[in-house]
Structure formats: C-alpha cells, structure tokens
Amino acid sequence: MAYEVISTRLPFVYEALPTRVIFGSGMRASVHDEASRLNMKRILVLHGPPHVEIADVIASQLGDRYAGTFSGARMHTPVAVTEEALLLVAQLQVDGLVAIGGGSTTGLAKALALRIDLPQIILPTTYAGSEMTPILGETMDGLKTTIRNAKVLPETVIYDIDLTLDLPAGLSGVSGMNAVAHAVEALYATNANPVISALALQSIRSLVRALPAIHVDPSNRGARADALYGAWLAGICLGSVGMALHHKLCHTLGGTFDLPHAETHAIVLPHALAYNAPAIPDVIAALADALGVDNVPVALQDVNRKIGAPRGLRELGMPEDGISRAVELALANPYQNPRPLTREGLHQLIARAYNGDLPADVR
Ligand code: NAD
C-alpha cells in the first residue's frame, strides 16, 4: 500500500502568533495580574450593553490601575466611534486597554491599538475569534476596509468560560458557526499548513459537537468550554492563513445588504463549501472523517437546523434582486479561491443560500 503523507501541502511556512492565552472558568480574576505583568497603570475598560455589571467588577479588581470606561463600541468598528474613544484615552492618559465583549468590542480595542499601540487584554464573550487575528475591519462613510497589521494583536486574551454562559442560545449557535467557517476555509487556504490544518479540524470537531448541546442547554459548562476552545482555535486559523470565497462573499453580502455578521456566515457556509468541494476532495475527505459523516455541507446545514439558525438569507431581509447584484459584486472583485468563480455557479450558490435550499450535491 502506498505511504500516505500526513504533512500534506509541502512546502509550507508556519508563523506562530505571539498572544498569551489564559483559558478556564473564573479566569477573569487574573485580569489584575495580567495588567501588572504588562505594566499598565491607567486602564480604559471597553464593553457593550450586556456587560455593564461585569465591567464594574473588573474595574474594581483593577483597583488604582483603573482610569475609566467606554461603552460605545458598535458592529463593524465605525471610525467615528474610535475617534470618540481616542479623545477619552487622551483625556484620561490611558496606557492600557481591557475589552470585554464580542467581535465589536474587540474591534474597538484593536482600532485604538492600531493608532496608538496600547497593550490590550481581551475577554471574549462570543465565538467570533477576532481577538486572535492581526486583522481589523473598519467602516467610514458606509465603506468597510480591512487591514492586516501586527500592532492590533492583543497582548493577552483571557478566555473565561463563565463569560459565555449568558450568550443567548440563538446567538451562541450562529457565532459558533462563524468560527467553524474560519476553520473550514483555513483547510484550503493557499498558504495552508499542517499545523493550522490540525487546529482547524480540532476546532470544527469541538464546535460541531458543542453547539447543538448548547442550544439544548445554554448552561452546559462542558459544551461551553468545548465551544470556546473551538472558537479560540478557529481564531488562530483566521489570523494565520488566508480566507477565500466564503468569507469574501459574507463580507460582500453583509456590507451591501446590512445583514447580521454571524447569521450570514452560518447560512452561507454549507453552500460555499459545496461550491468548492469538487476542487478540494482531500479537504472534504478530511472533514468527512473528522465529523463521521458522508456529506459535509449537508451535515453543516444540519448543525444550522439543530441550533435554530435562520434557514436562508431571505429571512435576514436580503431583497431577492440582491442575488444578481451580489453575483456581480463578487465577480467584480476577484480573489483567491480553490474553484474558479463563474457567474452561473455563484448565482446558484447565492440563490440556494437565499432560499434556504439544500447545498448542491457534492457526493
Ligand atoms: P458582537 O460583538 O457585535 O455581538 C453581538 C451581540 O451580542 C451584541 O449585541 C453584543 O452586545 C451581544 N453579546 C456579546 N456577548 C454577549 C454575551 N456573552 N451575552 C449576551 N449578549 C452578548 O458580534 P460578534 O459576532 O462577536 O462580532 C462581530 C463583529 O466582529 C463584526 O464587526 C465582525 O466584522 C467582527 N469580526 C472581526 C474579526 C477580525 O478578525 N477582525 C473576526 C470575526 C469578527
């Protein structure tokens, strides 16, 4: 029998991300030690509406290192909000940031770090994974731009499972599928490597098992731990290798039709993977093996059903004539993808995602 190479896709380059990670239950209590380790003396705490109380607790834990609070973070990191926070940073002579929240709050911390290079401690409360990436998306005058800069990488990330317990079941599911999408696309990135692929498969296994269990019982600590672990690994994947059709399409759909981030990712993923499947038989085989299923896109759509995700983009309020518009936008802005983009193929993909149909048959 021929020898099967495990470390496929040779040669490869692997670069480790430098962020220090603390993972466990109750780990938010380590925020003071981390602030001290990073020599932060005047800390601004960033948070969103659901985290007023926990932000107060953390502020008191920080003691005389606490300088103030900013709670104005918004989805897609509007530059106007960043500028407002920058004024406060200057006024309070802030020298460090602690952010508690999802991708939107993390985005604000990263936007501030980009401009004034402040050290960041991030306490994620969703599964978006932004805290692990040197990527920042910002919006100005309705236009979203994405940059990659090592300055935005947080110094410390504290994954405290307890902070995810009150993430509502519906949001937990779609946020987790957003993470699954990072890991899936990492498997066929042009700069894929065996280390990241191993993390990606483990991430997908953890999330696909944990998310339906969280939907049944959001207080299931074991499932919450597995989902957060999977989300961390997915964030490493997103931050380490390039993404393709799925992410670019969600970016276009979200930006053009103002669709919610995580829900859009959850709906599109099975269809984008089915589109790419003929060009990536090795990836499909690895995923089928990892998940113990025959048809991977259908299995992922089945997870969507179990977590109660919206069925199609129509349910998110996308107009039907948006299908053709999205096709043209995707074709006008070509990018790296394992299977070349065709007008007909893209139209079918987006129409299926719009209607909530089964993904194209990939067997
Ligand atoms: P989010 O941060 O906007 O949070 C979604 C909603 O859930 C908000 O209303 C928030 O207040 C609430 N919420 C968050 N945690 C909660 C909790 N534990 N309990 C109750 N409610 C809670 O959404 P998100 O999906 O985490 O992040 C999306 C944003 O992050 C987008 O702007 C996206 O572009 C960005 N993002 C960036 C990267 C990157 O690498 N740059 C990666 C992923 C996502």
Tell me the pLDDT tens digit for each residue of 319-329.
999 999 999 99
Mean pLDDT score, 221-244: 97
Q: Whose CA is nearest to atom 27 of ligand 1?
A: 103
Q: And the tokens for 351?
A: 């129409």
pLDDT band at 76 (very low <50, low <70, confident <90, very high): confident
Instruction: Please give the mean pLDDT across all residues of the chain.
Output: 95
Beta strand pairing status for 96-101 and 120-124? parallel
pLDDT band at 32 (very low <50, low <70, confident <90, very high): very high
* In the predicted structure, residue 29 carries a pLDDT above the cut 90: yes
Q: Helix, strand, coil: what percent of the chain each, to 5?
A: 60, 10, 30
Q: Which atom of ligand 1 is nearest to the CA of 75?
A: 32
Structure letter (DSSP) for residue 357:
P
CB within 6 Å of ligand 1 — which residues? 48-50, 75-76, 101-105, 107, 125-126, 128-130, 133, 135-137, 163-164, 166-167, 171, 175, 238, 261-262
- pLDDT for 362 equals 59
For the chain, give every residue range classified as CATH 1.20.1090.10: 169-355
Question: CATH assignment of 20-164?
Answer: 3.40.50.1970
Q: Whose CA is nearest to atom 14 of ligand 1?
A: 102
- pLDDT for 363 equals 47
Contact predicate 178/127, CB 8 Å = yes
What is the distance between the alpha carbons of residues 81 and 71, in angstroms, rounded to a whole number? Answer: 10
Which CA distances in Å does 287 have to 14, 184, 301?
22, 8, 14
% of residues, the chain, pLDDT over 70 = 97
Q: Whose CA is nearest to atom 38 of ligand 1?
A: 130
pLDDT band at 278 (very low <50, low <70, confident <90, very high): very high
Asked whether the CA dihedral 52, 54, 60, 66 is positive or negative, the reply is negative
Q: Which atom of ligand 1 is nearest to the CA of 132?
A: 40
Q: And the tokens for 348?
A: 């079918």
- Residue 28 Cα to ligand 1 middle (Å): 19
What is the distance between the alpha carbons of residues 166 and 73, in angstroms, rounded to a whole number? Answer: 19
Mean pLDDT score, 170-184: 98
For the chain, give every residue range classified as CATH 3.40.50.1970: 20-164
* In the predicted structure, residue 144 carries a pLDDT above the cut 90: no
Domain 169-355 adopts which CATH fold? Dehydroquinate synthase-like, alpha domain (1.20.1090)
Residues 6+ apart with CB under 8 A from 334: 341
- pLDDT for 6 equals 64
* In the predicted structure, residue 199 carries a pLDDT above the cut 50: yes
